[in-house]
């Protein structure tokens, strides 16, 4: 036990306190199990602990965010990782150059690092945290104010001759399962410095994220390895907490796109056969059987690869609902291809490393209703969705009498549903294609919601004819395109004169991310 009667700090004029030498023996305690608690995922441990023992917090697996100023982050990290400690390291306001040494000391001793309070409000939070921890000794770097010290003991962090407290640091196996992530970069890491030091003192594993998306290739392994940990994001740059948590679960789940990874772009470009299985009149896809289509798609991708530094991925764009001349039993002028007829194509494509996009031609029906019909197929990690507004009819309209159109609000509703499905099933990002060759086909296009991280949106310019005609369509559709939407190109084998070669196609500016053959 510490004899606190004879080791008070010396108060100088102006309220400054200089630390006296103090030998203090502290023993690292084991961790007690706790139930879920407050918003930061921390639940206080059992009461009645030995006041001279360090007790780490224990929390159920999950993801929480710690935000705020550097001082606030330090306090939040202390609450998140520690239940009890008789001592903390404190970095004085006059000692910013000692921050690395203070962090190293906290990590070495296995105790929190806090910042000296800036004002009265901060002092209150500081005092409350020290009281919660049961900390009666401050290991000071710099000169602390009398208010910061209060009636606590003070030890100089730079104290020579081995006069610092000695603490038996916990074994790594004693760690209840903490992990932290911080955005890479000097500014972000400095701002989170005390919090990171406290996390390290608690034995937490740490990752630096250059990208804020957990699904990015360099981040996924960390989230997979710590799926059962209490993980904290620290500092700014992580977006909405709930959204980040969902993406982290997807990263940990490990489902991948054909060719690997969980993000569609910019790691790949796609070359697709468009059409309907068994129907040659609707596009190149139906001109051969399933095995033949896979071979043809792969051959096309191979022809494009020399012209792309990104991997070129073979793909199918399958017309799932076909615009029909007859109204059908539901009166909507759209025919559904049965799910059990398309599923063998989806499964075979998945095995062969081929991406699949389901194309909807809804007639008088709406895109959301039709998309939900194919939920089973859209639950595959290699299946995305395409909207074809040319075939979206208003009440009283019929195909071939006008060019169809859809309001952006309907597309947004469908994307909301698709994003939620993708998130709930922890699927990799999905391609969403918007077909267009006239600006009127997507009404209020500027209001398209492009913020769903689960979706990679692509505008497919469907112009045909001469190169000049096609480029005029391309340039027209690009004007005013909302941020977050990439461009795609269609090569018509019969209608173009001539059909662009792979080299010519990838010379288009900007280079298309998705190319289909019809």
Contacts of 458 (CB under 8 A, 6+ apart): 431, 432, 433, 434, 485, 486, 487, 488, 513, 514
Question: What domains lie within the chain, and their CATH numbers?
Answer: 10-238 (no CATH), 268-454+461-479+502-517 (3.20.20)
Tell me, what's the pLDDT at 396? 87
Alpha helix (H) residue ranges in 254-309? 290-304
Q: What's residue 165's pLDDT?
A: 60
pLDDT of amino acid 53: 79
**pLDDT of 486:** 98
The predicted model scores a pTM of: 0.82
**Nearest to 456, CA basis, from 262, 245, 211, 234:** 262
Residues 6+ apart with CB under 8 A from 306: none
pLDDT means over runs of 10, the chain (518 residues): 30 33 34 35 48 77 92 96 93 91 92 94 95 93 93 82 58 69 91 94 92 87 89 90 90 94 97 95 94 98 98 98 92 95 98 98 97 99 98 90 95 99 98 97 98 98 92 96 97 90 97 97
Spatial neighbors of 185 by CB under 8 A, at least 6 apart, are none
Asked whether 168 and 34 are in contact (CB, 8 A), the reply is no
pLDDT of residue 242: 86
Q: What is the pLDDT of residue 295?
A: 98
At 12 the pLDDT is: 28
Q: Which pLDDT value is given to residue 412?
A: 99
Phi first, then psi: what are they for 377, rounded to 5°? -75, -35
């Amino acid at each position: 036990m510490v004899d606190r009667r004879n080791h008070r700090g010396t108060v100088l004029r102006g309220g400054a306190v200089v630390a006296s030498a103090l030998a203090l023996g502290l023993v690292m305690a084991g961790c007690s199990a706790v139930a879920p608690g407050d918003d930061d995922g921390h639940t206080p441990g059992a009461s009645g602990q030995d006041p001279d023992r360090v007790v780490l917090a224990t929390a159920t697996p999950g993801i929480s965010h710690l935000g705020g100023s550097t001082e606030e982050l330090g306090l939040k990290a202390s609450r998140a990782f520690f239940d009890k400690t008789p001592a903390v390291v404190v970095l004085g306001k006059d000692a910013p150059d000692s921050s690395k040494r203070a962090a190293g000391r906290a990590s070495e001793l296995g105790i929190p690092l806090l910042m000296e309070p800036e004002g009265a409000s901060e002092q209150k939070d500081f005092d409350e945290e020290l009281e919660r921890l049961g900390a009666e000794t401050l290991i000071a770097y710099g000169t602390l104010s009398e208010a910061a010290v209060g009636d606590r003991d003070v030890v100089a962090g730079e104290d020579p001759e081995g006069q610092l407290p000695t603490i038996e640091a916990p074994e790594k196996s004693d760690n209840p399962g903490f992990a932290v992530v911080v955005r890479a970069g000097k500014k972000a890491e400095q701002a989170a410095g005390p919090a990171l030091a406290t996390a390290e003192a608690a034995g937490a594993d740490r990752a630096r994220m250059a990208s804020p998306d957990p699904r990015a290739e360099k981040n996924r392994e960390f989230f997979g390895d710590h799926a059962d940990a209490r993980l904290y994001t620290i500092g700014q740059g992580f977006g909405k907490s709930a959204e980040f948590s969902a993406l982290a679960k997807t990263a940990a789940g490990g489902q991948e796109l054909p060719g690997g990874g969980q993000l569609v772009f910019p790691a790949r470009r796609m070359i697709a056969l468009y059409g309907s299985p068994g129907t040659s009149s609707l596009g190149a896809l139906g001109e051969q059987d399933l095995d033949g289509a896979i071979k043809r798609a792969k051959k096309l991708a191979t022809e494009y690869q020399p012209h792309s530094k990104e991997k070129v991925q073979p793909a199918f764009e399958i017309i799932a609902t076909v615009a029909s001349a007859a109204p059908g039993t539901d009166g909507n002028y759209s025919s559904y291809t049965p799910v059990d007829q398309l599923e063998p194509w989806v499964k075979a494509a998945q095995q062969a490393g081929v991406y699949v996009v389901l194309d909807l031609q809804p007639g008088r029906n709406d895109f959301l209703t039709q998309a939900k019909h194919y939920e089973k197929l859209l639950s595959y990690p290699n299946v995305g969705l395409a909207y074809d507004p040319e075939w979206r009819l208003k009440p009283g309209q019929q195909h071939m009498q006008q060019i169809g159109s859809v309001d952006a609000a309907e597309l947004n509703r469908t994307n909301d549903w698709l994003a939620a499905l993708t998130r709930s099933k922890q699927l990799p990002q999905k391609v969403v294609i918007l077909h267009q060759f006239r600006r009127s086909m997507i009404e209020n296009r500027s209001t398209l919601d492009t913020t769903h991280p689960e979706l990679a949106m692509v505008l497919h310019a469907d112009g045909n004819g001469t190169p000049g005609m096609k480029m005029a369509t391309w340039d027209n559709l690009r004007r005013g395109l909302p941020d977050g939407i990439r461009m795609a190109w269609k090569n018509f084998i019969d209608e173009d004169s001539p059909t662009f070669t792979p080299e010519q196609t990838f010379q288009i500016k900007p280079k298309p991310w998705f190319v289909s053959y019809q």
